[in-house]
A and B are shown apart, each in its own frame.
Chain A
Amino acid sequence: MDRVELGIVDTRNIIKVLNDVYRYDFSNYALTSLRRGFENVITRASLRDVDALIHRLRNDETFFPEFLSHFLIKSTEMFRDPSLWRVLKNDFLPEQLKKHSSFKIWHPNVIAGHELYSLMIILREAGLTDRTQVFTSGICSECIDQLKEGTFGRKVFEVSAENYIRYQGTSDFAQYAWIEGEMARRDHQLLDNVQFIEQGKMFEGAPRNVNLIIFRNNLIYYNQTLQDRVLEIMHDSLSVNGHLILGVMEAITGAVAKKFSLIHESESIYKKKQ
């Protein structure tokens, strides 16, 4: 395993340059993942060492989009936790749509788009595409270009296809995604009804009166301070009785916990308290 291993001082120095030059504050990210993310950038951008990374960040601002695309974790798969998607399609969404004439869904921090594509597939299979408005946003423009274009890794494709069967989809996964040479490709028309909106560094410009936020496996990369802060933003963005879905091993703790109630324990679905 020939990857650079960063120490605490290295990590702090990178945090500093990102703050100085780009006004991105990574100081409240979970330390181990942050360190590994920086190490990934050094490896994937073929940089020599930490000094080379700092030099590049300080002197070449055009490098920043590439930095983000290497740094951000984009390795989950479509229909991760198949039972969640089944619950959404069969129970949660049909029930909600009985109560609401229009239904706004926000998927913040989109990276690889696996969750976004999964969402659009279940909406189509539930016949709810026309009755829902889906917003997504992210900080990595290169990632968004790539997910719109539709290609993704073959390994992720294989896992996703298995997940689709466990989710018990009503169609054939091959209708949505297929192998193309060394890569896999998704039908990008699935995203036709998705509105890509701007996302500020701290989710400035978050949509209002959102009925459902899908924000799974993002909090794990934050420390408690940043988790609380981001959950407050999500809370503000939700409508009365709106719902928030987190990753299955993420929990709302800390001061903000009293503002949400857990309504589906195994799938981590929370409801905003009034």
Chain B
Amino acid sequence: MYKAVIIGGSAGSFQVVTRILHALPPTFPLPVLLCLHRLKHVRSGFVQALSIKSKLPVIEPYDKEQIKPGRAYLAPANYHMFIELANRFALSTEEPMNHSRPAIDLSFMTAAHAYRHKLIGIILSGANKDGAFGLKKVHDHGGITIVQDPFECEVKTMTETALKLTEVNYVFKTSQIIDFLLKIK
């Protein structure tokens, strides 16, 4: 019934994402969309680092690339990653938002617009407020909202800001996020 999982994170989220990608089976029925803050001038290396433990192929999508289940897509450096209605990515060089390009808010907002109530949005550890507004949009469209337990986060700012803005469905530790995702059929 769901169409996609979208995950946003910044400082302290790398290990969490790695654990999630390691736990999801290659047959995972949804696409996993990752919008993680990253250095804008470092284009390569991140996908490779995430791929080491991932059972899903990790891909930086080209503009207008089709979104397919069972793959993890990482927002490329120095582009915003939008989700279009036709189940494709669209990239943008629009100005940074929350000092970030890619901005988590923009990926979440456009995914919420495209997938409505069939989206699962997850905000992880991070040091700025990016993602909070986007997660609210997921909630407003009827999607499932999950925030990593701030007590488990290396940096709490991102999750705490998200929790202030939205009455989320779940506050989960990493292991609970994984359990939740593994139950998705």
* Pairwise interchain contact B94-A249, C-beta atoms closer than 8 A: no
Q: Which residues of A contact B91 (CB under 8 A)?
A: 220, 247, 249-250
Tell whether A162 is near chain B: CB-to-CB under 8 Å. Answer: yes
Tell whether B180 is near chain A: CB-to-CB under 8 Å. Answer: no
Interface of B is mostly: loop
Complex CA gap A32/B63 in Å reads 13
* Contact status of A220 and B63, CB under 8 A, knowing A30-B90, A163-B41, A166-B41: yes
Q: Which residues of A contact B83 (CB under 8 A)?
A: 32
Quick one: which of A31, A33, A227 contacts B85, CB cutoff 8 A? A31
* Pairwise interchain contact B85-A250, C-beta atoms closer than 8 A: no
Quick one: which of A162, A220, A251 contacts B93, CB cutoff 8 A? A220
Closest to B97 in A: A1
* Pairwise interchain contact A33-B63, C-beta atoms closer than 8 A: no
Binds B, one of A72-80, A88-96, A143-151: A72-80
Binds A, one of B3-11, B26-34, B74-82: B74-82
* Pairwise interchain contact A224-B90, C-beta atoms closer than 8 A: no
A142 → B minimal CB distance (Å): 18
* Pairwise interchain contact A36-B94, C-beta atoms closer than 8 A: yes
* Pairwise interchain contact B93-A217, C-beta atoms closer than 8 A: yes
List CB contacts (< 8 Å) of A208-231 with chain B.
Answer: 217, 219-221, 223-224, 227
Tell whether A82 is near chain B: CB-to-CB under 8 Å. Answer: yes
> Looking at chain B, what size class is its interface with the partner chain?
20 to 34
* Contact status of A80 and B92, CB under 8 A, knowing A249-B62, A250-B63, A251-B63: no
What is the size, in residues, of chain A's interface with B at 8 Å between Cβ atoms? 30
Complex CA gap A81/B43 in Å reads 9
Q: Which residues of A contact B79 (CB under 8 A)?
A: 220, 249
Cβ proximity bits A156-196 to B, threshold 8 Å, 1 near / 0 not: 00010011001000000000000000000000000000000
* Pairwise interchain contact A73-B63, C-beta atoms closer than 8 A: no
B50 → A minimal CB distance (Å): 17
Tell whether B64 is near chain A: CB-to-CB under 8 Å. Answer: yes
Complex CA gap A80/B78 in Å reads 9
* Pairwise interchain contact B78-A32, C-beta atoms closer than 8 A: no
Tell whether B154 is near chain A: CB-to-CB under 8 Å. Answer: no
* Pairwise interchain contact A33-B90, C-beta atoms closer than 8 A: yes
Quick one: which of B41, B43, B84 contacts A32, CB cutoff 8 A? B84
Closest to B62 in A: A251
Complex CA gap A219/B92 in Å reads 10
Cβ proximity bits A240-269 to B, threshold 8 Å, 1 near / 0 not: 000000011111010000000000001000
Tell whether B95 is near chain A: CB-to-CB under 8 Å. Answer: yes
* Pairwise interchain contact A33-B92, C-beta atoms closer than 8 A: yes
Closest to B113 in A: A32
B108 → A minimal CB distance (Å): 12
Q: Which residues of B contact A247 (CB under 8 A)?
A: 63, 91, 93
Closest to B110 in A: A32
Spell out B's residues near A (CB within 8 Å): 40-41, 43-44, 60-64, 76, 78-79, 82-85, 90-96, 105, 110, 113, 133
18 A-B residue pairs with Cβ-Cβ distance under 8 Å, sorted by A, are A1-B105, A32-B84, A33-B82, A73-B93, A73-B94, A75-B94, A76-B93, A80-B78, A166-B41, A217-B93, A219-B63, A223-B64, A224-B64, A248-B43, A248-B76, A249-B62, A253-B64, A266-B44
For the A-B complex with A32-B82, A75-B96, A220-B91 known, give 17 more contacts whose Cβ atoms are closer than 8 Å.
A1-B133, A32-B84, A32-B90, A33-B92, A73-B92, A73-B93, A76-B93, A162-B41, A220-B64, A220-B93, A224-B64, A247-B63, A248-B76, A249-B79, A250-B91, A251-B62, A251-B63
